[in-house]
Each structure stands twice: as structure tokens, then as C-alpha cells.
Amino acid sequence: MSFKVVFTKSYDKLERAFLKKHPDLWGRYHKTLKSLESNPFHPGLRLHALHDQYKGYYSVSINMRYRMTVDLLIQGREIILMNIGDHNEVYR
């Protein structure tokens, strides 16, 4: 069973800015989204729980430099996208 990736209005704005700034990552980004939908626990995503002020959220890698933070609702099988960017942009 697949998961549903949920795009919020605030995330849509972040996504547009990210892809405008990094058009070379478009293919990798969409591959990451497809992987999230089919299996968010795939090792290539490097899914891990966050701590401190981000407790309850998870990080998923697009590549070694860029990542997304997500709210992973396993019972509802929904993945709500929260933020996208490099380490410093995502964890501020």
C-alpha cells in the first residue's frame, strides 16, 4: 500500500523557490517524491527522526546536501511536506 504525499500551500511556495534556485535537482527531487509515496522507509531516502524543536518530524534526503522535512503520519498513511532546502535552510 502506498502513502499519500500532501502538499500544503506554504510548502508549494518553498518548493517553487527551491526548484527555481536548483533546476538541476528537478529530476532527483521528483524521484524522491515517488520513493516517498511507494516506500518512505527505503534506505536511499535516509529517513530519520528529528530532535529538539523538530521532535515529531522527520528528514528525508534528496541528495547529500539537500533534504526535506516531513510530518509522517503512518496510521493515516500520509506524508505532509514541511520544508525543503539545504541543512542550514531546513534546520533554522
Our measurement of the distance from residue 36's CA atom to the centroid of its chain's CA atoms, rounded to an integer in Å, reads 8
- Judge contact between 46 and 60, C-beta under 8 A: yes
Please give the residue range of the domain that contains residue 38. Answer: 4-86
pLDDT tens digits, 47-86 = 999 888 888 888 999 998 999 888 887 778 899 998 898 8
Residue 65 lies in a domain: yes
Handedness of CA 78, 83, 86, 90 (dihedral sign): negative
Residue 73 lies in a domain: yes
Q: Which three cell numbers stand for residue 26?
A: 528537478
- Burial of 52 per CB tally in 10 Å (0-12, 13-18, 19+): exposed
Residue 31 lies in a domain: yes
CATH number of residue 77's parent domain: 3.30.2310.20
Cα 30 to Cα 64: distance, rounded to the nearest angstrom: 16
pLDDT tens digits, 10-45 = 999 999 999 999 999 999 999 999 999 999 999 999
